[in-house]
Amino acid sequence: MVSVAIIGAGPAGLVAAKTLLHSSSEGPAPTVTVFEQGTNVGGLWAVESNCNGIINPGMNTNLSKFTVCFSDLAWDSLELQPPANIYPQAWQVNRYLNTYAAKYIPAGVIFLQTYVKVVEYLQTPFDQEKRWKITTITRAGDNWTEREDIFDYLIIASGFFSKARQKPFSCHSTTTENDDCLPTILHSSQYRQLSDLSLTNQPPTMGKILVIGGSHSGGEVASLIAMQMSDARHSPVGSGAQPLDIIHAMPHPLVSIPSFVRTGNENCPTFMQLDSRLYDLSSRPDDPISFNFGFTNAEKRKKLKDTLAMLMSGTAHAQDDNLVVQADRDKFGAPYAVVGDKYVEFVRSGAIKQVLGRITQVEQPLEEGNLMHATIVSQSEHVKIGEIAAVVYATGFSSSPALDFLPEQIKDSLGYDASYPRLPLLLTQDCLTSSQDSPSNLALMGFFDGSYWGVLESQARTIARKWAQTSKTQLFTPAQNETKSTKSSKLRAFMEELRVVMKKDPLSVPQNFFGDYPGLMEEICRELGLKKINLAWGEREGMVTPARYVDDGCDISEAEKTMLKLQQTIKDSFKGSAAFARATFRGLQGDWRINTNARSDKSFEMSSFHPRYPTDPNSDFEYIYIPHYKAQNYLVSRLVYRLRESKNQIEVWNVGQKCELTADKIHHVLDFNDGLVVDKSGLNVISIAAREGLDADLGVKIMYSFWFAGVAITKFEIESFNEDNVKIDSFEFVR
């Protein structure tokens, strides 16, 4: 019986172990051993056992649970309280992986708290082929045990995001001889709360916060800081401190896409999760659908901008909802897209200020005390940003520590080069798991940007099939092997050229150069002869999800459960009975001019929906609504707006008399499951009658109307009617 060692028990290592143990159609399954240095499975997602890890436990995934899953474990099969919404939180992903491991991987396979010290590739006296000698160190209490084992095959799944990259700028202090003693400078993975921005462990009260980085983590940490400052200001238990300015520096334009986008209905604003539009097979022109890669050019940049506009508005060439710095974008390369529901409105309100360019230096002048200056290069101009209290750099990770145990000769065979952190390896074969020169009994999983869980499962299946083949049963026909060899050569040439471009012209490097997730999934499906579960969809219809592609080792009932849930969710999205409350709630954030017909002068004043963390455990998101009227004798009480995502409802609460930040009694409810009235004029207007809250006696009928432009709400109106249906009051809110 052959033996396989797997290094790492994150998503890649777990799906590799499960696939090897359950997908063997001929003969016994191999003996599998998984080495994991952490105290629990999950890798980066092991947030409940490692609160100081890279991922914040409360962070939501940027792809839905129909993408963050494996084929044979449905999210609905988990016993979670509260249940996961469409975008699960990190701690829920951790529970998913623990459930997956418990269901499919027997006890005794995974060795926790086991560190791989060294890996050797050697010829033993009793074997014709070289094998892998792995030296590990295992912790048991206060004791450490070192041992050596020999394996026939090795899978490295130790993680692409192993260590934060070093600061991409120089630091200099004029107040001390030690340049490492500057005020707070930290990597985004180290940031959790406002007190992290100060050496005193207290939230800073003066200066600016500089966030560096134009990828998803840059937008995410900028939004997180802005959110925490808003919460500190507007929460009943907050400090009440005035938020500081956040400067977000990025080398290229940034487009923030909300997690729910338009379904494509131009006249009726209905919404669906982002990845159901991104990975829709019906949008692919190629036949058969295959894995594509390449550089950006003017045509591709235009297509990208049209795609982003379509996602934001529902149709291409329509006005989108982003506040990217208006500059000649082509000079800065193609825009990078990030997923976030709050970023756009934080930019609109001025809480986050975007700056295009690269930070080259951070210094602490003598006269500035604990504040810093930063130099940013933009269009060959050097611009200074002063009064910086803290710097958070979100500039990515390095995979070097995940490969330290390998011999240099093996690293060379993989094309390893640590100076290219985004492309450290040249893996061109077997679903990006091996190279043309690497040993045939070695595979690496997840070592590229955009390691979708479906791709990880495809990699595991490819590896299992490759290693299970015998001289009599070849995996591919000669014609297929020739096609694969040609594509592998093209991929190798692209990777080598990509490394050159990364040095000479980094702005022309695509955001996700191996991001053709649908193409790769469809191509591997054909190569391995996988079964597709389409249910109500046609072959080239609907979203790509891991549950759509199954092999003989899959629990098909779990895959069908996921597919049924997905198809029902999308069906409900087109009807407006799914995601509408969340999409509407997202559009309310920020500042509004308000016009009330209750006053004869109809003067415009301001009002704001300030986001804060939920003060009720049953709500998912929350705003404190604060009106600002110049006339002191015209007062409107503050309100608390709460989103119940699973119920597709928004609740509106009165505040208490003792504290104007505390919700007291529910006033009315907007139930988006029924009662929606669609304007037939094509103006994208939706109206909904409010329902009285429990113990509330409104005495009037309240009607909300929302004007949508893409994913944005440009105007909304609240009207009150008496029992004779005569309008007695109205408030109009405009940006």
Whether residue 176 is predicted with pLDDT greater than 60 in this model: the reply is no
Neighbours of 466 (CB within 10 A): 19
- Specify the pLDDT at position 661: 94
Q: Which pLDDT band, with edges at 50, 70 and 90, does 474 fall under?
A: low
Domains with residue ranges and CATH for the chain: 3-162+398-574 (3.50.50.60), 166-255+321-395 (3.50.50.60), 580-734 (2.40.128)
What DSSP element (H or E) covers 9? Answer: none
Q: State how far the Cα of 732 lies from the Cα of 716, in Å rounded to an integer.
A: 6
- Specify the pLDDT at position 522: 97
At 298 the three-state DSSP class reads: helix
Taking the CA atoms of the chain, what radius of gyration do you get in angstroms? Answer: 27
Q: State how far the Cα of 372 lies from the Cα of 370, in Å rounded to an integer.
A: 7
**Phi, psi values for residue 125, rounded to 5°:** -60, -20
Report, as an integer, the average pLDDT of 495-504.
Answer: 93
CB 679 within 8 A of CB 647: no
Both tokens of residue 121?
A: 């590739």
- Specify the pLDDT at position 645: 93
Mean pLDDT highest for which of 67-76, 153-162, 166-175, 308-317? Answer: 67-76
Residue with more model confidence, 555 or 474: 555
Q: Identify the CA nearest to 54 among candidates 391, 396, 425, 401.
A: 396
Whether residue 304 is predicted with pLDDT greater than 90 in this model: the reply is no
Amino acid letter, residue 473 = T
How far is CA 149 from its chain centroid?
A: 38
Whether residue 646 is predicted with pLDDT greater than 70 in this model: the reply is yes
Q: Give the global pTM.
A: 0.91
Query: CA–CA distance from 141 to each of 138, 144, 258 (Å)?
Result: 10, 8, 46
Q: State how far the Cα of 71 lies from the Cα of 31, in Å rounded to an integer.
A: 23
How far is CA 559 from its chain centroid?
A: 23
CB 660 within 8 A of CB 235: no
Q: What is the DSSP track for 483-534?
A: HHHHHHHHHHHHHHHHHHHHHH-GGGS-TTTT--HHHHHHHHHHHHTPEE--
- Specify the pLDDT at position 636: 61
Q: State how far the Cα of 698 lies from the Cα of 335, in Å rounded to an integer.
A: 48
Both tokens of residue 488?
A: 């592998």
172 forms bridges with which residues in the sheet? 363
- Specify the pLDDT at position 586: 95
Whether residue 459 is predicted with pLDDT greater than 80 in this model: the reply is yes
Residue with more model confidence, 316 or 362: 362
Report, as an integer, the average pLDDT of 466-494.
Answer: 80
At 265 the three-state DSSP class reads: coil
Q: Which pLDDT band, with edges at 50, 70 and 90, does 327 fall under?
A: very low
Both tokens of residue 581?
A: 């409350």
Both tokens of residue 169?
A: 């700028």
Beta strands in 227-380 (DSSP E): 246-250, 254-257, 260-262, 271-273, 336-339, 352-356, 358-364, 372-378
Whether residue 405 is predicted with pLDDT greater than 90 in this model: the reply is yes
Q: Which pLDDT band, with edges at 50, 70 and 90, does 610 fall under?
A: very high
Report, as an integer, the average pLDDT of 454-482.
Answer: 82
Q: State how far the Cα of 611 lies from the Cα of 488, in Å rounded to an integer.
A: 49
Q: Which pLDDT band, with edges at 50, 70 and 90, does 526 fall under?
A: very high
Neighbours of 152 (CB within 10 A): 18
- Specify the pLDDT at position 166: 83
Q: State how far the Cα of 494 lies from the Cα of 68, in Å rounded to an integer.
A: 28
Q: Which pLDDT band, with edges at 50, 70 and 90, does 323 fall under?
A: very low
Residue with more model confidence, 469 or 657: 657
Whether residue 572 is predicted with pLDDT greater than 80 in this model: the reply is yes
Q: Which pLDDT band, with edges at 50, 70 and 90, does 506 fall under?
A: confident
- Specify the pLDDT at position 316: 44
Q: Which pLDDT band, with edges at 50, 70 and 90, does 181 fall under?
A: low
Whether residue 696 is predicted with pLDDT greater than 80 in this model: the reply is no
Q: Which pLDDT band, with edges at 50, 70 and 90, does 322 fall under?
A: very low
Q: State how far the Cα of 640 lies from the Cα of 653, in Å rounded to an integer.
A: 5
Report, as an integer, the average pLDDT of 360-377.
Answer: 85
Q: What is the DSSP track for 411-445?
A: HHHTT--TT-TTS-----BTTTTB-SSS-TTEEE-
Cβ-defined contacts of 181-186 (< 8 Å, 24+): 182/362, 182/364, 182/372, 183/364, 183/370, 183/371, 183/372, 183/389, 183/390, 184/389, 184/390, 184/391, 185/362, 185/390, 185/391, 185/393, 186/390, 186/391, 186/392, 186/393
- Specify the pLDDT at position 635: 56
Q: At what angle do helices 90-104 and 11-22 cross, to 10 degrees?
A: 20
Both tokens of residue 512?
A: 């996700």
Q: State how far the Cα of 230 lies from the Cα of 207, in Å rounded to an integer.
A: 16
Q: Which pLDDT band, with edges at 50, 70 and 90, does 329 fall under?
A: very low
Q: State how far the Cα of 642 lies from the Cα of 637, in Å rounded to an integer.
A: 16
- Specify the pLDDT at position 597: 67
Report, as an integer, the average pLDDT of 370-375.
Answer: 90
- Specify the pLDDT at position 396: 84
Q: Identify the CA nearest to 639 among candidates 623, 619, 625.
A: 625
Q: Identify the CA nearest to 561 among candidates 22, 15, 66, 17.
A: 66
Note the pLDDT tens digit of each residue in 46-81: 988 777 777 888 889 999 999 999 999 999 999 998
Q: State how far the Cα of 227 lies from the Cα of 200, in Å rounded to an integer.
A: 21
- Specify the pLDDT at position 245: 96
Q: State how far the Cα of 215 lies from the Cα of 227, in Å rounded to an integer.
A: 18
Q: State how far the Cα of 667 lies from the Cα of 217, in Å rounded to an integer.
A: 38
Q: Which pLDDT band, with edges at 50, 70 and 90, does 538 fall under?
A: very high
Q: State how far the Cα of 574 lies from the Cα of 288, in Å rounded to an integer.
A: 28
**Phi, psi values for residue 519, rounded to 5°:** -60, -45
- pLDDT over 90 percentage in the chain: 62
How far is CA 402 from its chain centroid?
A: 22
Q: State how far the Cα of 128 lies from the Cα of 91, in Å rounded to an integer.
A: 46
- Specify the pLDDT at position 681: 73
Whether residue 617 is predicted with pLDDT greater than 60 in this model: the reply is yes
Report, as an integer, the average pLDDT of 256-263.
Answer: 91
Q: State how far the Cα of 208 lies from the Cα of 197, in Å rounded to an integer.
A: 11
- Specify the pLDDT at position 715: 95
Please provide the average confidence, as pLDDT, over all residues in the chain. Answer: 88
Poorest-pLDDT segment among 126-135, 207-216, 543-552: 126-135
Both tokens of residue 224?
A: 């997180």
Q: State how far the Cα of 65 lies from the Cα of 86, in Å rounded to an integer.
A: 6
Q: What is the DSSP track for 110-179?
A: EESSEEEEEEEEE--TT-SS-EEEEEEEEEETTEEEEEEEEESEEEE-S-S--EEPPPSSEEEESS-S-G
CB 732 within 8 A of CB 723: no
C-alpha dihedral sign at 590, 596, 602, 603: negative
Q: State how far the Cα of 299 lies from the Cα of 634, in Å rounded to an integer.
A: 55
Residue with more model confidence, 594 or 183: 594
- Specify the pLDDT at position 632: 56
Q: Identify the CA nearest to 27 among candidates 525, 362, 464.
A: 464
Poorest-pLDDT segment among 43-47, 268-272, 679-683, 713-717: 679-683
